[in-house]
Amino acid sequence: GENVEQHPSTLSVQEGDSAVIKCTYSDSASNYFPWYKQELGKRPQLIIDIRSNVGEKKDQRIAVTLNKTAKHFSLHITETQPEDSAVYFCAASNGGGADGLTFGKGTHLIIQP
């Protein structure tokens, strides 16, 4: 089955700086890669996703890049703000099937004032 590795487990950045979280996956059949943000005590919320026919996707301060050859994808957050503090999860699946998502173990992002 699919295996998703996520790094780092904790990331502390100064407010206004950029943050990058990296994930690798093992199954070359995976073609859907979402990122979820989970604030303390709340449900995971989708913030951005990418399919394997695209190399990069951007939404305001958030971007995701995908390298299919190397089987890795990354989340980039620019101009970080205090409200970006949360746990972020990457995931992978064979989109189009009914399979569930395979998640990374999460990154706790801390924005230092």
Partner 1 sequence: DVKVTQSSRYLVKRTGEKVFLECVQDMDHENMFWYRQDPGLGLRLIYFSYDVKMKEKGDIPEGYSVSREKKERFSLILESASTNQTSMYLCASRNPGLASRRDTQYFGPGTRLTVL
Q: Which stretch binds partner 1 (CB under 8 A): 12-20, 65-73, 78-86, 94-102?
A: 94-102
Q: Which of 111, 85, 103, 95 is nearest to 36 (CA)?
A: 103
Rama region for 69: left / alpha / beta (φ>0; ψ in -120 to 50; rest)? alpha
Residue 99 found at the interface with partner 1 (CB under 8 A): yes
Q: Which stretch binds partner 1 (CB under 8 A): 52-60, 65-73, 77-85, 90-98?
A: 90-98
- Restricted to residues 5-34, the positions that interact with partner 1 (CB under 8 A) are 6, 9, 32, 34
13: number of Cβ within 10 Å:
17
Residue 113 found at the interface with partner 1 (CB under 8 A): no
